[in-house]
Structure 1
Amino acid sequence: MKNVGNATNYLDMDTKELFKIYSTNKDQYIRNILVERHLYLVKLLAKKYINKGVEFEDIYQVASLALIYAIDRYDVEKGFEFSSFATPTIIGEIKKYFRDKVWTLRVPRRVQELNKKINDAKLILEQKNKKHPKVKDIAEYIGATEEEVLEAMEASYGYKPVSLDSSNNDDSDDKDLTLIDRIGKEENSFVSIEYKDFVNKFMENLNELEVKIFKDRFFLDKTQSTIAKEMDISQMTVSRLERKIIEKLKKEYEKNN
């Protein structure tokens, strides 16, 4: 049975110190503390994928497991912030879940596997070249034809299709409107996020530079190097400001929950 005094000490410890201890003894109690401290990140990232044909609770569960993977693999000695390390891991696992588990149309396995290669190639090429890869670049990288790449990319829209003729099931005045009546243009904003008010209020405490980094990193999935190049500042500066923003976000979240 774990010593109560030690348990209390763990709860009071700095996160980095906990990671150092966990890296040597893999104590599950410590891991649980680390998980609790970073669930805000899971919720923030998981909410980016709501209204995509999958229940939020399923996405949240996948993201939570990804958080555990990230905690187990994180090496505090390398100097990277855990949030920067964990974010691509969590997003990657969510996207993998969509690719592997949510196909509802009869898409050939060959096309599903090709689509996975394409998504992996996109990430690698974008990191390498600092820009979105063209179909030709992806095809050359994975050794496929451009037609095969386009076919797989089209097939990727086979996630949980919903009839455009389906109507609203609630008791509101516009319940007879169909989905096609409601479709509008895609908007890259925080409208689809349940905690819009929380996010907007949080951003009021950030300066203009911090707001841009916050949006670019967590909602536009831009890399630190891309942001640094766009703003003509060093990547180290972006990394430092990101750590500062995350600390503010964590404090604000804990204060409101």
Structure 2
Amino acid sequence: MTKDEYYKLGRKLTKEERKELFREYDRTKDPQIRDILIEEHLYIAEILSKKYAGKGIDYEDIYQVASIGLIYAIDRYDLTRGYEFSSFATPTIIGEIKKYFRDKGWTIRVPRRIQELSKKINLANIHLSQKYQRTPKVEDIAEYLNATPEEILESVEASKAYSPQSLDVSYDTGDDKEINLSDLIGEEEQYYDKIEVNDLLETAMKDLNEVERTILLERYINKRTQVSIAKKLDISQMTVSRIEKKVLKKIKQELKKTMGI
């Protein structure tokens, strides 16, 4: 398929059409086919870029990096391994974005006072953890550093762009719960996790027969009981229970194989 033929279609390609293009690209390495595949999958780069937006680097810069990651994924993708492309591309793109954040470091426009406070917070966290034998609260760190809780959280937010590892640090909320720094800042892109999960489930379900698929969908999508499903399929509730267990075991094994566990 040429780019002219693609644009004449006036629509997005179907899944099978995209797979056929990947096969053709694998054979020919035709740059026109590569361009079509990039355009067809730019939505993945867009979704993942939004996940990291608002963290110290302009969205357009992140999107450019994500697009480069997408190109790498297209060049490396092997259709014969059975992965959906989006499942393969997602970690590749995220890796490029995180690498970009690490490389930028403090060249992101962060005030020096925030840089200095961030270092003090890390040291205070270690000291107070040893002193109290628990994860320190934000208020504990603020008191120790003679700062306000707002200043601590401001520094945490700014340092998020500099050091993604710091997001693993936990703080006590005072309600017998601990939260990660990532929980204090920003929102998750609601469609991000669905990209990979949906593809993995679709791969895992492809070998199920109609009865098995019906039981799985009715139980976990439509939230129906085993008794109501048994009546619908005119089989016993015990049979539904047995098939459900077998299907879940089959899907679990397929997911492990797909994810290389």
TM range (shorter): 0.3 to 0.5
The structure carrying a bigger helix percent of its residues is 2
TM-score, scaled to structure 1: 0.43
Larger radius of gyration: 2
Normalised by the length of structure 2, the TM-score is: 0.43
